[in-house]
Amino acid sequence: MDAIAILRELKSRGVRFTPQRQAILEFLLETKAHPTAEEIFQHVRAKFPGVSLGTIYNTLNMLKEHGHILELSYGDMSSRFDGNAKNHYHLVCLKCGRVLDYDRPLLALEEEVGRETGFQVMSHRLEFYGLCPDCQEQALN
């Protein structure tokens, strides 16, 4: 869904949308960087100097509750946010913290797990940890 479709859908559910909230949504839809709330704040503040961190968090929570974004939490590190709400996988660099998409569909696994265990699977999360190509190169120098 693009920003306009999401805005329309939320409006039909009575969610109020300000230009700031729209800027947060648009940034998440366009970036592949999986930014933290702080990074989203810095980005949106460049255009809307009056925006508060509270607005960022409220908007992220609202978009998450309506299923339009994903929150990727990493224990004690701060969460990262993803404008692609479809289940997909991530590569996490243990050195620079970069989070990259890995878009190959492995969803057949849910059915397999369900079949083999009798568990009613609603979702799953899969991440690969290691070193990104840039960090591997640095390690060699």
Which residues here bind Mn ion, judged by CB under 5 A? Answer: 82, 101
Answer for which of 24, 28, 69, 93 binds Zn ion (CB under 5 A) is: 93
Total binding residues toward Zn ion, as defined by CB under 5 A: 6
Torsion of CA 97, 100, 104, 105, to 10 degrees: 70
DSSP helix/strand/coil, 112 = helix
- To Mn ion, the closest distance from the beta carbon of 101 in angstroms equals 4
Q: Which is nearer to Zn ion, 7 or 135 (CB)?
A: 135
Q: Which is nearer to Mn ion, 21 or 80 (CB)?
A: 80
State the Cα–Cα distance between residues 6 and 8, nearest whole angstrom. Answer: 5
- To Mn ion, the closest distance from the beta carbon of 141 in angstroms equals 29
Q: Residue 92: CB partners within 8 Å, gap ≥ 6? A: 74, 98, 99, 127, 128, 129, 130
The reply to whether 100 sits near Zn ion by the rule CB under 5 A is no
